[in-house]
Amino acid sequence: MKTKHFLSIFLIVLCLSTNGQGIRMDLGGPTHTGVYETEPLRTFSKVKWKTEIKGRGKQNCLIQDGVLYMSSVERHKDKSVTGHIYALELKNGKMKWETEMENSNVSSPSIRDSIIFYGSDNIIGIQYAVNIKNGNILWQFKTQGRTCWPPAIVEDKNFFGCHGNENKLYVINNKTGKLIHEKNIDGGICNCASIKENVIYFIDLKGTLHAMNTETYEDIWTFKTGTKSYNSPAIVDQTAYLINKAGTVFSVDIETGKLNWSFKINDVITRSPAVKDGIATLITNNGHIYALNSSDGSVKWQHNKPGLGYTNSAIVDDIVYFGCADNFLYAFELKTGKELWKFESDAPVNSPVIENGIVYFSSGNYVYALH
């Protein structure tokens, strides 16, 4: 009996562990810290591979089981758009499959087991579920608002928002695409929610951070930043780090919803911070790179680059990586800000993702792997 009892417990734990491993979200995972637990690329040597894609690559890529999943948008002379999603082999950049989506400005992906989820919008918003093995579309969920970002995933639920013609938070079943719940949100939502335990955190376009229970869909607390935000909050330990469009960085206690500190940057910021080892890193729209002490918001180090900064930083071990619109990918020492290396592309560089000492990113009509 004891052996059978132990075996039953082991199988339950194994199933729960495997289930959790099946979820992939951008910006380093569900809490959007921008941190990747892998080997960093400390010294750049050469381009491992370079694969051409249609249109321009979107910001964030995801990696699972030796495959890179990403998207691009092709803009035509008649002002129509075509979205493309791809699966590329990590070892050589070879295209496993590609799926085309007409009239769709496609987002970065989220993954739940064998399904990839993309948001898109053009005239209306659509959330797509795609077979991870072949790129075939499994189902579509249509909204009347704009919804060009991936969903946040909690077990079998997808959470995503829209804005424009309708301002709502949607909860749908990620296996069937059927509606579970919808909730009106003042101003709408223009980012992917962050998740910790049974709470999701998202910022609406009025600039209010919501901490919402994933079962009851009720706000636990709200925090007002004063103006709109397009960023996913980064959740580290008991703190949410968030930025509004006016360029103010906030540290908020997630237990109480109370402000710890704020820091004003005189520039527009449209991407989320990355936070590790007491340091929060970010890049502004005008190419100013900041590293802030996460304890009080004071500046630890900073750099000014000539290109615009519309990307998320990525941290691996003691190195932080930034893509910039000056066509460079930069690697800095996290603690000191010392520039370790940089790589010049032919177009603005999107947010990087790192796996086993190799940096992957899209730039213009290409996807790169550097080692």
pLDDT digit string, tens, across residues 14-31: 333 333 446 787 777 899
Pull the structure tokens for residue 6: 């132990």
Pull the structure tokens for residue 347: 């177009």
Proportion of the chain in helix, strand, coil states, percent, rounded to 5: 5, 50, 45
Question: What's residue 27's pLDDT?
Answer: 79
Question: What's residue 265's pLDDT?
Answer: 87
Report pTM. 0.90
Q: Are 109 and 116 in contact (CB under 8 A)?
A: yes
pLDDT cut 90: percent of the chain above it: 65
Range 299-303, long-range pairs (CB < 8 A, 24+ positions): 299/263, 300/335, 300/337, 301/336, 301/337, 302/337, 303/332, 303/337, 303/339
- For the purposes of burial, counting CB atoms within 10 Å of the CB of 29, is it exposed (0-12), middle (13-18) or buried (19 or more)? middle
67 beta partners: 64, 89
Element (H, E) at 139: strand 137-143
How many CB atoms neighbour CB 283 within 10 A?
Answer: 30
Select from 224, 258, 333, 259 the least CA-distant residue to 289: 333
Question: What's residue 307's pLDDT?
Answer: 65
Could you tell me the CA-to-CA distances from 27 to 18, 34, 271 in Å, in that order? 21, 5, 10
Q: What SS3 class is residue 223?
A: strand
Question: What's residue 226's pLDDT?
Answer: 86
How many CB atoms neighbour CB 208 within 10 A?
Answer: 19
Could you tell me the CA-to-CA distances from 307 to 246, 321, 327 in Å, in that order? 19, 15, 8
Question: pLDDT tens digits for 57-106?
Answer: 887 899 999 999 999 999 898 888 899 999 999 999 999 999 998 888 89
Which residues in the chain land under pLDDT 70?
1-22, 123, 307-310
- For the purposes of burial, counting CB atoms within 10 Å of the CB of 71, is it exposed (0-12), middle (13-18) or buried (19 or more)? buried
Question: What's residue 26's pLDDT?
Answer: 76
Question: What's residue 15's pLDDT?
Answer: 39
Report the distance separating Cα 319 and Cα 214, nearest Å.
34
Q: Are 240 and 234 in contact (CB under 8 A)?
A: yes
Report the distance separating Cα 158 and Cα 110, nearest Å.
10
Provide the H-helix boundaries in the chain. Answer: 2-21
Question: What's residue 131's pLDDT?
Answer: 97
